[in-house]
Structure 1
C-alpha cells in the first residue's frame, strides 16, 4: 500500500450523489485534514433518486447536485465535477472510460477511490448496476487508459492531457475488503455529509443511529473494538 505521505491528491469516482458519503466520507475527511487535495467525479446527477414526486428529473438532478456540493464541503472538498450521465442507465462503455480517463489526467491523483465492480451478495445495496458499471469503467480508465498515451489520443491531441499513472485504487462496497480505516474522529463530519442529502435520507427516522450502527459493525469486523467506527475498502495496487 501507499504510505500516507505518498498520498497528496485523491480522485473519487462514484455513480450518484451521496455514494461517496456512504462509502468513504469519513476517510475523505481524514485526508483533507492532512491537506490532501480531493476531487469528486460524479458520473450521474442522481435524477432517478429521491422521494419527492413533485420534482421532475431535471429538478431532482439540480437538487442532488446542490446536496452533493454541500456534503463535500462538510468533509473539506471543494472540487466536485458531474459527468451528466442518466441515473439508472449507466453502462461500462468506452465513452465512460474516456470521460473518467480525462478526469484522471486532469487531476493526476496518486489514489483513486471508486465502487467495487463485483456484486456483493452479503449486502446488495452497494451493488447497484450503476455502481458496478462505474467501478469497472474506472478501473479500466486507471489501467490501461489514463496511463497509455495512445489510448483516447484525442485527450492529448485536442485537450493537451498527458498520460498519468494512478498508483493505487481503493474499492468500496465489494465482498472482499482488505483494508479498514478508523473514522471515529470524523464520524460526525461523515454524518453531516450524509444528512446533506435530504432528498435521500430526510424521510428515514433515526437515520443517524442507523448510520452509526452500520459503521460500528465495520469497526468490529476490523477488530478496532468498542466505540469505534470504520470504513472498509479493497486495495488494488496498479504497478
Structure 2
C-alpha cells in the first residue's frame, strides 16, 4: 500500500460501518497525504448490523437506514473520505446482480484506483462480507476486459488488500502487511465514535488496533502504537527488496 505519491483509492464495504472499523486508519492516512479515497457502502447494514436501533420502540426500516447513513457520513468526514456512496442493496442478504456488477466496473474505470480495500475471502459469521469481496474482484476483472464496453479505457492491475474480519482465525485471514496508523489514530477513533448503532464495537476495535500496532513494532524498527492488518490478494511487484 504505497504512500510515496498521491492518487486514488477504492474501498468496497459491505455495510455502512465496515470501512470505519477495518480500514479507517488507511483511509485517514492516505487522505492526509492528498489521496482521493472513494468508499462504496453496498448496504446500510439495516437488518443484521443495527440491533441497537431495532430495540427502540416504533423503529422502522427507513429510519434505521437514515440513522446508519448519518453515522457513516459523519465518520467519513472525520476520516477525510473524498467520495462516499450508498448503493442500498440490502443486507442479510446482500443482493448483488449484474446491473450492480457493471456499475462497480464503471467505477473502477472512472476512478482508476491505485489500490482497493475490501473484505476477507471467507467469513462464516457474515455471508455479506465474502460476497462483497467476490463482487469487488469480479468487477475488477470486468473492468480489465477489452470486450466490455469497447472504447472505454480498461484499468490496469490495482493491488487488492483484504482488511481484517471480526474473527480472523475463523475466516482463515492472516495479515501480510501491517500499516502504522498511529499518526491518524485520533481521526479513526473519532470515526469509530460516530457509529452509535454499534457502540459495543468501539472498545473491541481499539484493542485490535493496539494489537496490530504491537505486532508492527515487533516486526520493524518503528515505534508503532496503533496499526491495521491487511492481506494481499496478488503478488507485490517491486524494483527492490530493500
| TM-score category (smaller protein) | 0.7 to 0.9
Per-residue CA distance 1:41-64 (angstroms, 9 max, x = gap): 111122213212332111111111
Residue of structure 2 aligned with 1:217, choices 196, 211, 231: 211
Change (3 A) 1:89 1:192: same
SS at match of 1:85: coil
What is the deviation of 1:161? 5.0
2:12 maps to which residue?
A: 13
Q: Deviations over 1:95-117 (max 9, x none)?
A: 44323212212222111111122
Question: Matched residue of 1:84: which SS?
Answer: coil
Deviations 1:40-93 (A, max 9, x none): 111112221321233211111111111111100001113101112011112565
Question: What is the Cα deviation at residue 164 of structure 1?
Answer: 1.9
- Quick check: 183-192 or 3-12, which moved more? 3-12
TM-score (norm 1): 0.82
The alignment's TM-score, normalised by the length of structure 2, stands at 0.82
User: What is the alpha-carbon distance in structure 2 between the residues aligned to residue 17 and residue 236 of structure 1?
Assistant: 23
Report the Cα offset of residue 23 of structure 1.
Answer: 0.5
The separation in 2 between residues aligned to 1:7 and 1:129, in whole angstroms, is: 34
- What is the Cα deviation at residue 140 of structure 1? 1.6
Q: Which runs of 5+ in 2 are unaligned?
A: 238-242
Find the partner of 1:178 among 169, 176, 179: 176
Among candidates 45, 70, 75, match of residue 74 of structure 2: 70
Contact 1:178/1:235 (8 A) holds in 2 = yes
Going from structure 1 to structure 2, the CA distance change for 1:161 and 1:88 (only over 3 Å counts) comes to farther
Contact 1:90 1:130 in 2 (8 A): yes
RMSD after superposition? 2.4
In structure 2, C-alpha distance between the alignment counterparts of 1:167 and 1:88, rounded to whole Å:
29
Q: How many residues of Structure 1 are paired with residues of Structure 2 in the alignment?
A: 221
> Is 1:29 equivalent to 2:28 in the alignment?
yes
Contact 1:92 1:136 in 2 (8 A): no
> 1:5: how far off?
2.8
Provide the secondary structure at the position in 1 that maps to 2:26.
Answer: helix
Moved over 6 A (4+): none
